[in-house]
Structure 1
Amino acid sequence: MSRLTSRRPVVDLAAVRAAVGAVHDPELGMTLAEAGLVGDITVSRSGHVRVQLRLTTQGCPLESELTAASHRAAVAVASVTTVDVAVATLSARERAELADRVAASSAPLTGGLGAPAPRILAVASGKGGVGKSTVTANLAAALAASGERVGVLDADVWGYSIPQLFGMRRSPVVLGEKMLPVPAHGVALMSIGFFVADDQPVVWRGPMLHKALSQFVTDTAWGALDSLLVDLPPGTGDATLSVLNLLPDATLLVITTPQATARTVATRVARMAAESGRCVTGVVENMSASVCGSCGEHTALFGTGGGRQLADDVGAPLLGRVPLDVELREAGDRGVPVVLATPQSASARELTRIASALPAASRRSLAGRALPLSVVTR
């Protein structure tokens, strides 16, 4: 009597490498294959696969995320039975080569003559406490959820809150001469809050402040963004003016509450924009009403009409009126934008609608602007 033996199908090594290579690294903004982070892959006769990932730094903050994603990709390949993922670190030369590739793939935020630039919305308010950062975070998350490549630059150096709103607290990775934005919920983030302790005050001003903001704009590898939202500090101080000078194509999105006081001081921001040749692309009224968590009744705690009046005063559209509900507050405390945490809440639905209604990118006139010149010698 002859014994029949069955053989397992052979695992396609090229298919495993392609699957793992297609895993996206959210920090680098490219696949593992494009970044050169897939090392040796071996396959046993029993279908066991061993994958080596070669990460940028020892203790890479995304190590567990990339390891899990690579495991899922490899185990999904036909005939693979088990997968082990090992981690190594790039050599100094390989890091330098990767830094060059990242820099080459990162388009400048300022665009240039004929060069593409992302839509840049500078989110401003006349005073603090109107929910400017909350609106910024949720608009960015909603845009990212719709498929856009989105960044948030937290320029509110004294009252930074973007790290808390996105639930992310760690230092950015430095690759070559560029900082990599910290990814969270599909959005690329840069904030002074990633460099200081939560309870540490930032007392910068003048040249030091401008230098830090300049580094956030020029020394960050933002990648090829579709939209960049800039969370400005309230008012019309040095930081606001520095950012607007660094980003000449930025347009302003002004946040106010229904109160007359908030509307009045927000008008000053709009006038500053007009005097500097900037366009106010829209107005958002935040905290338009308090929504009862039990019955859903709306109560206008801060009055009515402030957003509409401001929009009329500055000649910009009123893009929306965001209600204040428990879900919005709880999401901010948890570090997950409400548009992702509870998308069916009243605040999330309105913020998502506003994100879809944001105007397209516009370019300022070149009149009165310094143009980059280069000298060609023959």
Structure 2
Amino acid sequence: MSEIELSGLEKRYGDELAVEDVSVTIEDGELLCLLGPSGSGKSTTLRMIAGLTSPTDGTVHIGADDVTDRPAYDRTTATVFQDWALFPHKTVLENVAFGLRMQSASKDERRERAREMLERVEMADHADDNPTNLSGGQKQRVALARSLAVNPDVLLLDEPLSNLDKRLREDMQIELREIHEDLEKTFVHVTHDQDEAFTLADRIGIMADGELVQVGDPHEVYENPKNRFIEGFLGDTNFLAGEVAQTTDESVAVETELGQEMILPSNDGDALAVGESLTLSLRPEVLSIGESPVATDAEPETATVADGGTTNEIVGTVENAIYRGSTVRYSVAIEDSSVFVERTVADSGAFDAGDDIRIRWDGADVLAFREDGTRVDL
């Protein structure tokens, strides 16, 4: 069994609290990504699992064993680092076999296992090469093969793809996912790249200021963020300041900085008080855009409630249209504020700066957060 259980894990460096009360169970065979900005504590947490950093408090269990005080060499883990750390005076094969040599495996066993791992990462043709002559992606494959060669119960990956260019990084993400599915071992992968986490993870643990803020599958953490930090960190969104204007048993009306009330469906209108300040999150993918009804002599609609749905509509003026390859991003001025929407090139329409456009969305797609950043459960 290679289940990992972290309980109350804490790390201090003098007066600085780097990791605070991290508790999570990583299931046997699971791939968990620790995701967060620089300085959030994700790498420190990984190093405590690896035995490279001693916790100030808390425990680390791998399987049935308490390994909190065990050194790294006495744990059933292997770590892949960001900088590869290959020996320049050894061949690729010798680098991969090095860990097995430390385990006192025979020469024939070392060479056979190393070649097997090089085959797995598609580097067998480079077995006799000097690693200094390899590309970044090739070096990372060798580092991965070296860690897999010792047959660890747990593979720990500390931002291993951050030094690669975009295309190679995406290719390696797919390869890592396939290797994980093939080996069925427990992987813990640290990254600051949300696309990487969404591609790889069975579950994502989001860290901020040393705390593990939320753990869930990729869909859960994106669709149901626990707080405003997570909503802003994952993807792009429009944050709008607002104030509760009215509540009913079915909906909440919020006066926003766009100069128009936004209607949100609610099963518990009493959860909010009239006059309470909110921040609303309006993701660009939930917005539909079209020709302004003003341009067609039709009356623009406002927020309405019908059949349990809440349709919101507003008219704005395109400030600029930014071509981004596969998408076009429109910045739209509304009153003294602005929002942005994105469309694929095929669906973008022909809007230019100065055009008036209509923006529509369903209030059910809007998330609301209190002043302290906590999510409002409507």
Whether these two folds match at TM > 0.5 is no
Under a length normalisation based on structure 2, what TM-score does the superposition of the two structures give? 0.27
Which structure has the greater CA radius of gyration?
2
Q: Which has the higher helix share?
A: 1
Give the number of the structure whose residues are more often strand, by fraction: 2
TM-score when normalising by structure 1: 0.27
